[in-house]
Chain A
């Protein structure tokens, strides 16, 4: 979505001026379309040593009829670069990354992808290996900042023995679904991923519930989950029922009017999902409110209501939704954090408390033995500046700055957040657990 600045630098005069002054020029990002190829252009796949993930990715891409190359030919423009550094053991090994990626950076198409694959530093054997594994994060984030024209760079860290779980993440990062995901680290660990019958409908046959589905990001989540094949239970407060009905009818789901803070909210959601749709596979805790005030002026009701809706309701509903008769084994829980929960935000102590709390919840739930045994994954998205009705009300200057303070020089769209959530919701992402992925275009805030 174009802001005033983006509009100006797209005009003939603005374009010239921006180029001369070296100002950022946001481009229209490549986003998912059913009929579009997974990647736009050939993909260079390379790696260090036996590079097991690179081999996997080559097979995956070839099965999709994507052109896979080993080096940049003169005059070709690449759609993506995938570098497997899983066998990196010493700082000297990083030279492979430099020598592979450096020559490609001037040969990338708009909205190209750089995907670096490594091992988790937590599994490292010795000081040097740990250090070099962590180096990959610094390199990837720096590449993200160097890239232009909608291109992104992300790092995938694969735990030992978890190579088989990497496919959905590689697909996500290469595709238009990850348009506004930049400079992120995604960890792939244990879990048994199930490949969907049709990658165009990775959620076919699944039942999802989305809270706060009446408008904005929530409505977009419902739409993307339904597009990917899920039946969606759309939940919002009774007073938002008119917009909620629109969402539910648009996605062919059902509308459930309830306040997530009600004591019986979890039970009612579960009953609805089970009686109407035969079960529950995906829970997206998206409902959230803001009641901004500087802490100096913050009253107890603003404080309590934000914590109640954004955090306490999730804890309470999960007792039922994740109980023995709740979500099916192998199900997926997705929470919505915020960049404010990572970086903090002036006037948002209450909101940041709730959104940082969500991250703490992901940490605890994703390592919970009972949930792990049941194969239930728990992840979160942390949106940055997303163009919604809410951000449209932000004062002009603040809004323009918010749009520009990231590597893609633009705000994200609700669908960008929704795409990441849908990726977490796939059974193919069973090995993706405990991640907090920022959908922020590599925002400078809290980076």
Chain B
């Protein structure tokens, strides 16, 4: 790794190396290797360029809302967040883009995303972290692999399938159990989301726990701690930055998930913290409205402002969780 700092951690990069088992066959035509390396490099840079392009494209459509004088007059930046007066004089926050005049307050949508994300994390995190701890510290070797495979399968269930399950089955259970005012609501959407978030948190947390060197466990055992003490008192704290990174990634996944919330939340833009009420998230709003909106209108640009918020938040969370993971590995001496 030290000798070749430019090698990219992609499977393709190591393929030529493993393809020559004997020294006598080592002399391969050089141009082919160069081509392979070049291809790998282009792919890697292409991924970076794609992220940059997405960011550029979204920001390019979002910025005019604040930069363009006519648009800024039509929809002042402050009006995206400040309340308006209702007919009875009470303050209200309204997202009603197809209206005269359009009401484009972002707070109901931001609160909606926050509500479902919190529910999803509160449900998914304890389950996922405990499962990861069990798999990494307690599970018999023959149970470990099947459990991981099943969890990965759960991660692979298409979100539309999870959404339809929530819409038709989960919503009725929740209403029967919790007597929520709306059948489709933030609680149902959050619970459904937790099905998508938990496998992600599990996988990252399990990675983090496995990254704790066995010397830590051996030292604990040598001092007379039993398995449970080692797991909870030594391994879990040592892996905590990585676990937090997993939770953060789970939060980004929940914020960005579209299909599940679109189907399960009812999509009413109500500004209220009650989890039993229908809720409208940022992603569902973009999905429902971007197809119809007039290109270049204030509504169009506001939808891109929402999109830009999503991109920036999820990129930020990814960078931060990556840094946390690296920090942990360096501290534990298992870093790459």
- Does B bind A? no
Q: Which residues of B contact A (CB under 8 A)?
A: none
